[in-house]
Every structure is written in structure tokens, then in C-alpha cells.
């Protein structure tokens, strides 16, 4: 009976209750959507960074990363690479020789990291070939080809950006054009301190989602850089993609690799990019804080509405106490009423929020108008919303807790009424 009365009481002020229910639903939808958007952005960013930069695993000589001395090669690097490749959990692996140096043309010199890569293997690990926007991916040039980034090409004066509004024949906006097959000179310090110079020819231009990276990384062939350094088959870095990203943290093979080779540093993507790890691990807390703020705002709305409902019904509540409804029952009735009011919006908000997340998880949200800003932060132009299922349950639980908290004060207020005073005003 109490339940029935409480339920019907919710609908006494239909408009007022609907406003509260709508506010709760909208709050949840907005919260869920924003969370899923930010999660989608994070997973995409994480995936992009793994796929283009960190890979799942990297191996270096133990001290290489301390000051990037060129002499700190991975001992027997190519043998290790062959071993790694035979592991079933490894999808692809490649080796790199790295040098910090300068690239120069007539315009001037620019500081870059020179990456000596094995083109076919690199393509399997970082899909570098797919980011070539002009020229070829190490094809068509016999000696010393080099792949430079879009931003660097621009600085070197080899990129032509069309006037805004210029269209191709088919009506699509005109794309930038690049000059390739240009000569550059690379300079770097080889182990032993001697500065080495090499003449290279631009075979192509690549463009990733991170313009900073494009500006400061050039790619040459593994053997070319080795030859220039005066070494043979030496590598600083082995990058590995696994079949399953989750394996990066608990692969027994990698654990044994690290244990068996104390002179090596074996890192997974979270070790390599601590900010990715932080985002991954703090996301849950963000969800709770974020939803907590939304629910706190809603809490005040609910309490306010219920206080109004209690105050309006002073006489009725006084009458109920007069005819013999005890305090427990009055308290329960108002509690139930608040809980009904607060939780009706919950499933609606969760369901609509879920629907929205699924929808934009499929079609994606196009951020290309913000692409320039995104490129600075390393974010792609399409974001696919995503939120793990357990968050929905946790949000539902938070709604229930909010409802319970919101219910206490109005119910307590109702108990403060004295039947004589309430009745007197009749």
C-alpha cells in the first residue's frame, strides 16, 4: 500500500516529476556520452600511438635510452630479431638503427632523428608505407633513398599548399603537392666521435597524425645507415607487434626474454609511453568523478523537488499522522517516493546513453574541422565512442546510491512535522 501511495504521489505533479526525470536522464546521457567520447578518443590515440610509434614491445640495450649513445647497440641484435620472429605470439617484428643528426638542403639544416629501417619489416610493424603521401616507399631509387615527413618537407621548401578554396577538376579541395627526388645531406656523430656525412635523395614524403613527429623523424634504409656509420647489421631498437595487445603486459615469452638477457631493456607500450599508461589507469577514476559531479547536481535538484513536495503536503502528512500513520511509515513513504522519482530516469538515461554510444561507435564522430588542433595532440579525425559495459552497471549503482542519499533529507523533514500544527492550519 505504501509503495502504491508513494508511486502515485510521484505523479501528482506530473510536470514537476517529469522535469526531474528528464533532467536525470539527460544528465546520464550527457555523462555517458562524454565518457564514451573521451574513452573512444583515448583508445584511438593509444592504438594510433602503438601502431605508429611505440609498438607493443621495444627492446634496447640496457643503457641506450639513458643518453642515446650510438655505440650502445643491442648485442647480436639481428640474431635476437630472428629469434623473436619465431615466437607464436609475435605478429611482426623489426630492427632499427638510430642516429641523432642534421638534415640539410639549400634552405638550411634541421635537427632530426635518423631511423635506419628495414622497409618491408617496418611496414608490417608500423605500417609506415601507408602514410606515404608523395613519391614511393623506398622504391625506384638505387642508392641512399630517404623518406621525410610532411612538416619537414614544408620547412625545407618542398611543399606547396594550394590557396584555400582551390578545387580539383572533380570539385574536391586541392591537396598539397610536394617536390621529391631532391638531394639532402645527413650529418651525425658516429661512435668514436667522428662526424659522418651522407648524401641522400628524397624518395617520398610521409604524413602521420602527429606533425611534431613528422618534423623530426626521417627514415633511411637499415644497411645504408649501417654502412655510413661504419658498422654492419647493428641495431639499437627492436620493435614488436603482438597478436594480442593484452599480452604486452603478461607475456611469459617476454618475461623470459628479459630475464635471460640482463643486458637488455624490454619494455611494453605502457612502460614506453607512461602517459598512455596513466590515461588507461586513471580513466575509471575520471568516470566516477565525472558522474559524481553530474549526480551531485542532480541530487540537489531531487532534494529540492522532494522538499517542495513535502512542504506542499504538510496538512495531508499531518492528517496521516493524526489518524495513526506512524513515523516509520511516513519516513518510508517519502523515501520510496524520492527513490521512485530518482530512479525512473536511470534506466531511461542508461538505455538512451548506451544507444548513443553504440550509434556513434559505429558511424564515428568526424572531427576533421578540428584536425589541425588534433594533429598537435596526436588525435585522429574520427572518434568512435566506446564505453565498457561494467561502467553502465557502476553508473546505475551510483544512481541508486544518489537516490538513497537524496531520499533521506526530505523524509527526515517530513518527520519534523507536528500533527497538531499541521492540522491547525486546516
Contact residues toward another protein (CB under 8 A) are 1, 5, 8-9, 11-12, 315-316, 319-327, 329, 419-420, 423-424, 426
Residue entry with cell 654502412: 227
Looking at the Cβ atoms of 18 and 420, the one nearer to another protein is: 420
Looking at the Cβ atoms of 9 and 251, the one nearer to another protein is: 9
Looking at the Cβ atoms of 274 and 324, the one nearer to another protein is: 324
Q: Report the candidate in 188, 189, 224, 187 with the shortest Cα–Cα distance to residue 203.
A: 224
Contact 147, 138 (CB under 8 A): yes
Q: Report the candidate in 357, 338, 337, 360 with the shortest Cα–Cα distance to residue 349.
A: 357
Looking at the Cβ atoms of 62 and 315, the one nearer to another protein is: 315
Contact 21, 341 (CB under 8 A): yes
Residue 174 CB neighbours (<10 A): 15
Residues 6+ apart with CB under 8 A from 337: 6, 7, 9, 10, 306, 309
Looking at the Cβ atoms of 254 and 320, the one nearer to another protein is: 320
Residue entry with cell 539527460: 26
Residue 133 CB neighbours (<10 A): 16
Least distance between another protein and beta carbon 37 (Å): 42
Least distance between another protein and beta carbon 288 (Å): 37
Q: Could you say which DSSP state residue 143 is in?
A: S
* DSSP helix/strand/coil, 364: coil
Looking at the Cβ atoms of 23 and 325, the one nearer to another protein is: 325
Q: Report the candidate in 255, 237, 301 with the shortest Cα–Cα distance to residue 96.
A: 237
Looking at the Cβ atoms of 66 and 316, the one nearer to another protein is: 316
Contact 412, 311 (CB under 8 A): no
Contact 24, 376 (CB under 8 A): no
- Rounded (5°) CA angle 315-318-319: 85
Looking at the Cβ atoms of 239 and 330, the one nearer to another protein is: 330
Contact 201, 182 (CB under 8 A): yes
- Rounded (5°) CA angle 153-159-161: 140
Cell (9 digits) for 162: 594550394
Looking at the Cβ atoms of 11 and 197, the one nearer to another protein is: 11
Least distance between another protein and beta carbon 367 (Å): 50
Amino acid at each position: 500500500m505504501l509503495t502504491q501511495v508513494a508511486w502515485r504521489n510521484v505523479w501528482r505533479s506530473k510536470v514537476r516529476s517529469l522535469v526531474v526525470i528528464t533532467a536525470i536522464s539527460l544528465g546520464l546521457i550527457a555523462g555517458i556520452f562524454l565518457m564514451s567520447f573521451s574513452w573512444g578518443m583515448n583508445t584511438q590515440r593509444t592504438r594510433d600511438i602503438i601502431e605508429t610509434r611505440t609498438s607493443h614491445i621495444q627492446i634496447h640495450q640496457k643503457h641506450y635510452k639513458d643518453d642515446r649513445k650510438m655505440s650502445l647497440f643491442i648485442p647480436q641484435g639481428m640474431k635476437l630479431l630472428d629469434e623473436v620472429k619465431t615466437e607464436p605470439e609475435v605478429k611482426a617484428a623489426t630492427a632499427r638503427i638510430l642516429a641523432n643528426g642534421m638534415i640539410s638542403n639549400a634552405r638550411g639544416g634541421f635537427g632530426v632523428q635518423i631511423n635506419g629501417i628495414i622497409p618491408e619489416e617496418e611496414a608490417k610493424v608500423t605500417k609506415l608505407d601507408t602514410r606515404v603521401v608523395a613519391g614511393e616507399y623506398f622504391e625506384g631509387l638505387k642508392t641512399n633513398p630517404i623518406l621525410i615527413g610532411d612538416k619537414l618537407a614544408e620547412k625545407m621548401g618542398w611543399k606547396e599548399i594550394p590557396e584555400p578554396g582551390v578545387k580539383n577538376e572533380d570539385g574536391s579541395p586541392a591537396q598539397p603537392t610536394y617536390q621529391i627526388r631532391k638531394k639532402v645531406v645527413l650529418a651525425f656523430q658516429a661512435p668514436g666521435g667522428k662526424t659522418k656525412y651522407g648524401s641522400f635523395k628524397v624518395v617520398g614524403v610521409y604524413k602521420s597524425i602527429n606533425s611534431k613527429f613528422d618534423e623530426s623523424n626521417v627514415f633511411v634504409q637499415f644497411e645504408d645507415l649501417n654502412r655510413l656509420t661504419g658498422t654492419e647489421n647493428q641495431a639499437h631498437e627492436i620493435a614488436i607487434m603482438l597478436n594480442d595487445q593484452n599480452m604486452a603486459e603478461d607475456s611469459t615469452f617476454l618475461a623470459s626474454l628479459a630475464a635471460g638477457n640482463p643486458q637488455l631493456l624490454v619494455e611494453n607500450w605502457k612502460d614506453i609511453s607512461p602517459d598512455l599508461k596513466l590515461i588507461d589507469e586513471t580513466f575509471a577514476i575520471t568516470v566516477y568523478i565525472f558522474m559524481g559531479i553530474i549526480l551531485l547536481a542532480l541530487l540537489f535538484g531531487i532534494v529540492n523537488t522532494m522538499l517542495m513536495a513535502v512542504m506542499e503536503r504538510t496538512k495531508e502528512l499531518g492528517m496521516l499522522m493524526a489518524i495513526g500513520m506512524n513515523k516509520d511509515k511516513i519516513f518510508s513513504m517519502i523515501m520510496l517516493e524520492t527513490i521512485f522519482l530518482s530512479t525512473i530516469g536511470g534506466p531511461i538515461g542508461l538505455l538512451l546513453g548506451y544507444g548513443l554510444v553504440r550509434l556513434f561507435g559505429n558511424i564515428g564522430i568526424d572531427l576533421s574541422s578540428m584536425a589541425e588542433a588534433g594533429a598537435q595532440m596526436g588525435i585522429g579525425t574520427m572518434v568512435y565512442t566506446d564505453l565498457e559495459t561494467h561502467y553502465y552497471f557502476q553508473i546505475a549503482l551510483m544512481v541508486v546510491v544518489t537516490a538513497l542519499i537524496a531520499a533521506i533529507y526530505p523524509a527526515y523533514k517530513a518527520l519534523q512535522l507536528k500533527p497538531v500544527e499541521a492540522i491547525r492550519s486546516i
